[in-house]
Each structure stands twice: as C-alpha cells, then as structure tokens.
Amino acid sequence: MIPGVHEHERSTGDGFHEEVHRALGARGWLFPSWPTEEGGAGLDPVRRRILALELERYRVPHVTLSTTALVWAAVARFAEPALAAELKPGVAAGGVRFCLGYSDPEGGSDIAATYLRAVREGEDWILNGAKMFTTGAHNCQYTFLVTRTDASAPKHKGLTMFLVPLALPGVEIQAIRTYGGERTNAVYYTDVRVPDRYRLGEVNEGWGVLRGPLDAEHGAGRETDGLSDVCQGRVFLWEFERALEATIGWARRSVRPDGTPVADDPAFLDRLGRQIVELEAAVVTPGPMGRIKGSLTLIEGVAELVDLVGPEALLAYSADGAPAAGELDFAHRWAQGTATYGGTIEVFKNIVAQHVLGLPRATYPGSKALVR
C-alpha cells in the first residue's frame, strides 16, 4: 500500500486517493475484466472477485472507483460512439472519473422524482437545479446526471440522462461532512450549458439508461455465475472485524476494579462470542440479503462492542488512550451511513421481496395499487 493512504482517508473522508487510483489503472485493476490491450487486466470472474475482496480487505479507497465503473457501463451503451471512444483510455488509466448525480435535495430515495430541469436550446441543453449526496464530485471530471426534460409526463417518462463535465461554467460543488467522517457534496447547476453530445440515450427515455447502473448498485441483474453474490455486505464486515480486534486487544490489556483481567470475564466473553457468531453468519449470507445483514451486523455489533468497552471506545483517532487508535469510535460513526449506501436497507428489503422471493410490490395507503 502507498504510504499515508489510510491517514489521508481519515482526514479527508473522500473514498478516493489519486495516486492509488492511477496505480490501479496502471495495473489494469480499475476494469480488471477488460482485455489488456484496452487497459484492463484480462482477469477471469474468479480472479476478479478475489481482487475486489482483497482491495476491500486492505481498505483501498473505492468510492470513486465504484461509481466510475457503474457509470461506464451506461456510457459504453448509450453515449455517442465518438464520446465513449474519447473517454475510454482515460477511464482505464484513472484520469477520467465519474460520480452519481441522482438525489434532489428533497427527493430522498425516489430518484425518478427529480425536478432538476434540462431545457433544449439549439444544440445545447440548459440545466438548472441541484443534487445532494454527489459523493466524489470534487475528484471527478463528469457526473452521471438525471434530469427532468418533460414536466408534464409521468415521473418515470420525462427523464433524460447526461454525462455532464463538472468543469462547465455554472457548476458549483459544496462539501458536506457526514457523521461518519466521509465527505459528500451538494452540487448546484445554474444555467449550465451542456452540448447535446453529452446526452445518454433518447430524450425522455432516461429511466431506461438509469436502470442498468441502479440494478448493478443494488445487486439485481448481476452476472449469473453467482460470484457477485458472495456477501455484498462484505465491505462493511471488514470494518466490524477490525472493531472486534480492537475490542479483543483492549480486553487483553484491561482489568476490572477487582484486579481480574477483562479477558477472563465469562459475561464479557459470552457477549463477544455472540458478535463473532453474527459476523460469521453475515459473511456467508448471499446476494442482497448479505447487503442487509452486513450493514445491520456492523451497526448493531459495533454498538454492542462500544457498550462492552465503555467510554474509552468513543475516544477519537489520535486521542490519548483510544483503543486501537480510535478504531471503535470510527467504526461506530461510519456504521450509521451503511444503512443508506447504494440505497437504503428498506430499498434492499424490497429487492429481496420482489427479486428473490417473487412477492408483489408493496402497497401503501394512497398508492395506485389500492385504487379500484
């Protein structure tokens, strides 16, 4: 690992390190399934999955790596061939990166409810509006932007997708810091003029362009070899493992008021053992169920570990006496955001219900499904 990577991530919360990103590109590891002559590594599915798990295990910053990969699939399919050919070498090398422009400030998880407007003006489009939670925008060159081009159409029918250069006049990026220490962004678009060549797919057919990246992010419609189903929540569980190790290290060094070692306390060992069992169960939970289990195991498990250790667990990174340099404090704060990454836990529960169990869509008071 390049020196200082983890320290950089602790201080910035970017989920991105340019030197690491470009080093991965030089090895063909940003798109490892691509042929070597196209900037990839030519890895088969098994080796590709092993690589992904190892990058997670070593805490390689991966947010921008992931968003770029998600967007590229749509660019390759829906962009003008000349634009895709222009961008592909830079994407493979790591110099061209994409972020996700999905959520409106008041839209929540309902991406199709966007009201960021795109209005045709000759060969250009004029954009006005804002997006929240555009993580990595300050480190990317383009955003995969969902816009409203027909306000009179049903919400899924009036959308158009663009790959917007973030260096265009009128684009303003403002940092937002999360409780977990990450940086995300609010991005404002004021009379941003985008050439039509950056449109992806047909006008008002943006939902079809967007579905592929959404399904990939949610774990639906993945490869049929089953490899991507190997615990979609594993990235969360590496952090839980580190929190467990920090707790065990603290217990070995600590004593109770009566002088007995904490590590010999049967009650402590029982509670710790239960968390280890939860970890093992989460690791082997497949598919989108693993995404749910991984997040819940981390959130609930770290809370239990913090309770076991006591006030010391909430000492921050670099604070005197912080167990494992503040690992428990970091894990506890970071865990909360995992309930929303790539879609909320509730979204994934619906995916399990509909795509895994074959259940019908849920109906709620006032929904169209209840209108007779």
Nearest to 101 by CA among 215, 241, 210: 210
Buried b (16+ CB within 10 A) or exposed e, 334-357: bbbbbbebbbebebbebbbeebee
Tokens for 91, please give them. 């994407």
Give every CB contact of residue 180 below 8 A, 6+ residues apart in sequence.
13, 333, 334, 335, 336, 337
Nearest to 60 by CA among 91, 103, 99, 21: 21
Asked if residue 246 lies in contact with residue 328, where contact means CB atoms within 8 angstroms, the answer is yes
Please name every residue paired with 185 in a beta bridge, in sequence order, or none if there are none: 175
Give every CB contact of residue 91 below 8 A, 6+ residues apart in sequence.
30, 31, 39, 68, 72, 97, 98
Which residue among 217, 241, 304, 312 is the active-site one?
A: 217
Would you call 38 a catalytic residue per the annotation?
no
Active site residues: 217
